[in-house]
Amino acid sequence: MYKFNNTFIFSVAISFIIILINLFVFLFIMLWMPVSAAEKPKSFEKWTIAGKYLTAREAFQFKQAQGEKLLFVDIRTPSELNFVGSPKNMDINIPLVTMDYKQWDDKASSFKKIPNKHFISAFNNAIQSRGMTKDSSIVLLCRSGKRSARAANLLTSNGYSKVYTVVDGFEGDKAKLGSKKGKRVVNGWKNAGLPWTYKLQQSHLTLN
């Protein structure tokens, strides 16, 4: 039979305690500490009052860690979600703007976009129905980070304190050089290979 002295047993016990402490610290960081934030975007159109920025990959990791404690909102139009796709772990779609198919915007070469007058009330309802507050963490996603910045500022102005914006959005920024110039291939949720789908769930939509 093997004989173990007190020193050996003590060292094994200490090692085991250290492993447990490290595991506890890791879980604490993953579940409670703020997510590592992306740098301030170069484009001023993506700046926000709160200054809370995430890359698409950071947003995915943040949602994975926080779960139902975090509200992940896609603020694009339902048409964009339907034809371009959306994150699989999206909680709800609350569009910042809607399309007016009776009016044409010559400058944008598209149908006119009009502000969603129900935007704030939809957020208030989404928060309250989930037992959350205006101090709960919220992550906003749009196509490339510009609309989500505007939405973040609007929410901050209405008392929401922890609003993050995904700086590269779902489709990402456009390439400035090379054969793919003008195409959204630089970054973003889809280009990062994160989970997404074309399928919509009616429970995720806010239909007015």
Tens digits of per-residue pLDDT, 61-89? Answer: 999 999 999 999 999 999 999 999 999 99
Q: What band does 8 get if pLDDT is binned at 50, 70 and 90?
A: low
A 10 A CB-CB count for 84 gives: 16
List, in sequence order, every beta strand (DSSP E) within the chain: 53-54, 70-74, 86-87, 92-93, 97-105, 110-115, 137-141, 163-166, 196-197
Q: Which residues contact 96 (CB under 8 A, 6 or more apart)?
A: 75, 115, 116, 119, 142, 147, 148, 150, 151, 154
What pLDDT score does 22 carry?
64
Q: Is the pLDDT of residue 160 over 90?
A: yes
Predicted confidence at residue 164, as pLDDT, reads: 98
Residue 113: both structure tokens together: 């976009």
- Please determine, for residue 2, whether its predicted confidence score (pLDDT) is greater than 70: no
Higher pLDDT, 176 or 6: 176
Confidence band of 185 (pLDDT split at 50, 70, 90): confident
pLDDT given at position 50: 95
207 versus 198: the higher-pLDDT residue is 198
| Average pLDDT value over all residues in the chain | 88
Across 7-30, average pLDDT: 63
Considering the entire predicted model, what is its pTM? 0.80
- Measured distance CA(6)–CA(10) in Å, rounded: 6
Q: What average pLDDT score do residues 192-197 get?
A: 96
User: For residue 23, what pLDDT is reported?
Assistant: 64
Burial class (CB in 10 A: 0-12, 13-18, 19+), 135: exposed
Which helix (H) or strand (E) segment is 19 a member of?
Answer: helix 6-31
CA distances from 158 to 137, 138, 177, 206 (A): 15, 13, 40, 20
Going by the DSSP 8-state scheme, the letter that residue 86 receives in this structure is E
Tell me the residue ranges of DSSP E strands in 109-157: 110-115, 137-141
pLDDT of residue 89: 96
Distance CA 205, CA 76 (A): 11
Q: What is the mean pLDDT of residues 188-208?
A: 90
Q: Are strands 137-141 and 53-54 parallel, antiparallel or unpaired?
A: unpaired
Residue 138's nearest CA partner among 78, 201, 52, 48 is: 52
Taking only the tens place, the pLDDT of each residue in 95-143 is 999 988 899 999 888 888 999 999 999 999 999 999 999 999 999 999 9
Q: Are 53 and 165 a contacting pair, CB within 8 Å?
A: yes
* Residue 12 CA, distance from chain mean position: 43
How far CA 164 is from CA of 2, 49, 50, 75, in Å, comes to 58, 10, 8, 13
Whether 32 has a pLDDT exceeding 50, the answer reads no
